[in-house]
């Protein structure tokens, strides 16, 4: 026998020796056999239509790495924000004060903040600054009250 004939003969032998007829997939039978798995697949579609951004977030947060990363971000953000809060609560940035207009500097809220910060001395100082900006000389509290009372 030549090689081609041998190969054909071998092919036929293989085909005869093993059952190589085409298997047919019966989808309905499979669904009945594995209802849980099929429902898990289909339910994914139903869930997907319900979940929005928060659903996506909850899926992402299932990952342990994502949880650790989120915790780290929160800690860093708090760490950066606390000093800023402390600065804002107890002392104002002097440069910010100079940026205020004279009217703002003598408003009730500004004066109260200055009083809280340094008592009457700070109050006087703030009034002086407002006066300097307006081009007037030093302005005492007595002058201010006199002017207000007429």
CB of 6 to another protein, least distance (A): 5
Catalog residues that contact another protein under the rule CB under 8 A: 1, 3, 6-7, 9-11, 13-25, 27, 30-31, 33-34, 37-38, 40-48
CB of 68 to another protein, least distance (A): 21
Give the nearer residue to another protein in terms of CB position, either 30 or 81: 30
Give the nearer residue to another protein in terms of CB position, either 1 or 109: 1
Q: How many CA atoms lie within 13 A of 106 on its CB side?
A: 17
CB of 73 to another protein, least distance (A): 25
Measured CA to CA, the distance from residue 124 to residue 79 in angstroms comes to 36
Contact 141, 124 (CB under 8 A): yes
Give the nearer residue to another protein in terms of CB position, either 47 or 87: 47
Measured CA to CA, the distance from residue 41 to residue 46 in angstroms comes to 10
């Amino acid at each position: 026998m030549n090689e081609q004939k041998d190969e054909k003969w071998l092919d036929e032998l293989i085909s005869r020796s093993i059952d190589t007829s085409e298997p047919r997939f019966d989808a309905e039978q499979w669904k009945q056999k594995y209802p849980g798995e099929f429902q898990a697949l289909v339910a994914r579609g139903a869930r997907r239509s319900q979940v929005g951004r928060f659903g996506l977030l909850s899926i992402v947060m299932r990952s342990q790495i994502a949880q650790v990363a989120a915790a780290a971000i929160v800690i860093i953000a708090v760490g950066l924000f606390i000093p800023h809060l402390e600065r804002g609560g107890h002392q104002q940035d002097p440069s910010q004060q100079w940026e205020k207009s004279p009217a703002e500097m003598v408003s009730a809220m500004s004066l109260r903040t200055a009083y809280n910060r340094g008592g009457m001395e700070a109050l006087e100082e703030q009034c002086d600054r407002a006066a300097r900006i307006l081009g007037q000389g030093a302005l005492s509290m007595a002058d201010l009250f006199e002017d207000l009372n007429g």
